[in-house]
Amino acid sequence: MQVLVTGGGGYIGSILVPRLLKEGYKVKVLDRFFFGKETLDAVSKNKNLQLIQDDTRWFNPKILKNVDVVMDLAALSNDPSGDLDPKSTFDINHKGRARVAKLSKEQGVKRYILASSCSIYGFRDGMLDEKSPINPLTTYAKANRLAEVSAKKLASEKFTVTLLRFATVFGLSPRMRFDLAVNGMVLGFFKNKQIPIMRDGKQWRPFIHLKDVAEAYVKVIQAPKDKVQEEMFNVGSNDQNYQILPLAKEVAKAINIPFNKKWYGDPDSRSYQISFDKIKDRLGYKTKFTVADGAKETYAALKSGKVTDSIKTKTVEWYKYLIQSKQVLDGITIKNKVF
């Protein structure tokens, strides 16, 4: 079986791609490689891996020839990145992925799996499941929702479409990110002996380890068609719904550092608790790694020098650098200026 992973060189992709290769799949990676191809160095010599540097908005459809499954991860990631330039976010995160889905169907791809986000729920009280009303508040969340709608419309007997809404991800990656909650907290402790927390700390978020994200993709790709056709799955675990302040205390405990916080920003407009019962009941999916596991491994990697805090680990800052230095990012704007 051959799998195409868009955005395969990113934070999640650089963990997912090695996992797919380990499972014995042939893998094509379609990515702009804004963060470099070195994120896949560990598997670069694998004979079953093909790297294609291109853009979802204009790649040649022939790339999809003989592909059985498309895992569509390519996007400007997270809410701050989405707000950097809303038009480009909609172009890439919605129109680009809608194009990938459409071309996949036209080229005879059997399965299409879209990476969406629980941020679509926005601000809601109580435990939310896949049938709950959504409330996308940011450009990133709104573009994700439009991509979901576009993809689901294409589902047919010969084209299986599955939509995955992931919890907030944490853990070590070759394309490391410290602009995510758990990873950022660990970095704050490492550098300043205190955790930065967005006010007021009462907001709810679900969390998931990178390796559990990869496991979810494997579960979906291996599931019988009738289990995943036109299905939406929240991906995470019920016991990793956290309010941000208790989460910070959990991180401090895991890495054995006295809890000390530093408030920043305005109160968060997003808050949601998510039920992950459906994917557990339907596919037998369970997470294996906890917030404590992720915090410990990230803290150890920082202490050993295996990972460092650089501009590349802050997505928005790296995008701004690339745009302003005119190195890449054609078709993406900042302050209404196109490079």
So what's the pLDDT on residue 199?
79
> Rounded CA gap, 331 and 318, in Å?
16
Contact 119, 136 (CB under 8 A): yes
The range of the structural domain enclosing residue 89 comes to 2-338
Q: CATH number, domain at 71?
A: 3.40.50.720
**Helices of type H across 255-311:** 277-283, 291-304
pLDDT of residue 326: 56
pLDDT of 337 reads 36
Residue 262, pLDDT score: 84
pLDDT of residue 333: 43
The CA distances from residue 334 to 16, 83, 202, 337, in Å, are 30, 10, 32, 6
pLDDT of residue 336: 37
pLDDT at 184: 94
The pLDDT of residue 338 is 34
Peptide bond just before 200 cis, omega within 30 deg:
yes
CA distance 125 to 192: 34
Residue stretches of the chain with pLDDT short of 50: 328, 333-339
Token pair 């009462």 is found at 202
* Residue 70, SS3 per DSSP: strand
Q: What was the pLDDT predicted at 256? A: 96
Helix/strand/coil (H, E, C) string of 25-51?
CEEEEEECCCCCHHHHHHHCCCCCEEE
- From CA 216, how far away is CA 243, in angstroms rounded? 24
CB atoms within 10 A of CB 175: 21
Show the tokens assigned to 327: 């190195």
How many domains does the chain fold into?
Answer: 1
